[in-house]
Chains A and B, each alone.
Chain A
Amino acid sequence: MGEVIVVTSGKGGVGKTTAAANLGTALALNEHRVVLLDADIGLRNLDVVMGLENRIVFDLIDVSTGVCRLKQALIRDKRFNEHLFLLPAAQTRDKTAVTPEQMKAITDEIKADYDYILVDSPAGIEQGFRNAIAGADRAIVVTTPEVSAVRDADRIIGLLEASEMTEVQLLINRIRPGMVKRGDMMDIDDIIDILAVDLIGAVPEDDRMLVATNRGEPTVLDGMSRSGRAFRNIARRIVGEQVPLMPLEAETGFMARVRHMFGFGS
């Protein structure tokens, strides 16, 4: 029996889709069987981030309405043998075209055959969000170190707790170590302190991310990419491994705090 993980944020543009794509790819690289499910109906993007946009035949709505079977709609990513599949969102419908009950039925069906289902949630707190979390066992809330994103993350964490989601973890994206060092960007400790939530990982801002997205290749496949390394670490934490936070920059004071937070070092 697999696990359904919703990747959500409240605020748009913080990197939900790239996080879902990279974490799914990293899990597949580690031989887990993964389905990426794009729940952003009407504004699908997981397909282009993964470079699979030309392979779409059926979509999520086709599955929920019985136009096709689940297996027919799952696009196999040929780069990862039998380990990574995408269930694309419909692009010509809206968020009300599927109900939370239908979403749960679909994720339950996928769960029977795969290890991890990563659900890419739309921004917002309306029905698209309700759909995305309907069948989820746990949640990864993505934020950036900006006041607007952190505030929305707080709201989303509240809504997840209210819907009795017990496992909620925070992914802090696009940290710029230079700005943190100057005191012009909140650091990991600041954000965790404000939100009072468990951390799954932090990802530094990375120019290679845009290059990777241009090519339709997640950065976890790029050995030189710092964001790719951070996402590979987070994927290992998802499966329960203890992986220390990587240095966002080579600065002892900062690292000492980070290590301290994870219980390493003195």
Chain B
Amino acid sequence: MFDLLGKVFRRDEAPSKEIAKERLRLVLVHDRATVSPQFLETIKEEVIGVITEYMEIDHTGVEVSIHSLDKSVALVASIPIKRMKRTAKAV
């Protein structure tokens, strides 16, 4: 009971600048990712470059996008594998 009350009061007193910082952090992730249309393409190319060292992938099927979840933002990559390279195991 006291815990709950404490929580309620603390939340009321939570400095608003912390809310401002958190909201800005999220909004800037979106803004910065959308400012440059080249951004995702660049990431995609570089990811393909790294992955192809280990496996054979379907370049045309690669999808890279930014998803926003409730309180965070994720970079999601879908990379179809055609075949694993024999050397992959040795790594």
Contacts and interface: CB of A to CB of B under 8 A. Distances in A.
B25 A151 contact: no
Contact of A190 (B17, B27, B28, B31): B17
Contact of A183 (B18, B25, B27): B18
Interface of A: 147, 150-151, 154-155, 158-159, 162, 180, 182-187, 190, 194
B35 interface: yes
B20 A154 contact: no
A159 B23 CA distance: 22
B17 A183 contact: yes
B36 interface: yes
A182 B28 CA distance: 25
A208 B2 CA distance: 48
Interface of B: 15-18, 20-21, 23-25, 27-28, 31-32, 35-36
- Shortest Cβ-Cβ A-B pairs, 9 listed: A183-B15, A186-B17, A184-B16, A158-B35, A147-B20, A154-B28, A147-B24, A183-B17, A194-B24
Which one of B17, B25, B28 has the greatest number of beta carbons of chain A within 10 Å?
B17
B16 A147 contact: no
A207 B78 CA distance: 56
Nearest to A184: B16
Contacts of B21: 186, 190, 194
A182 B24 contact: no
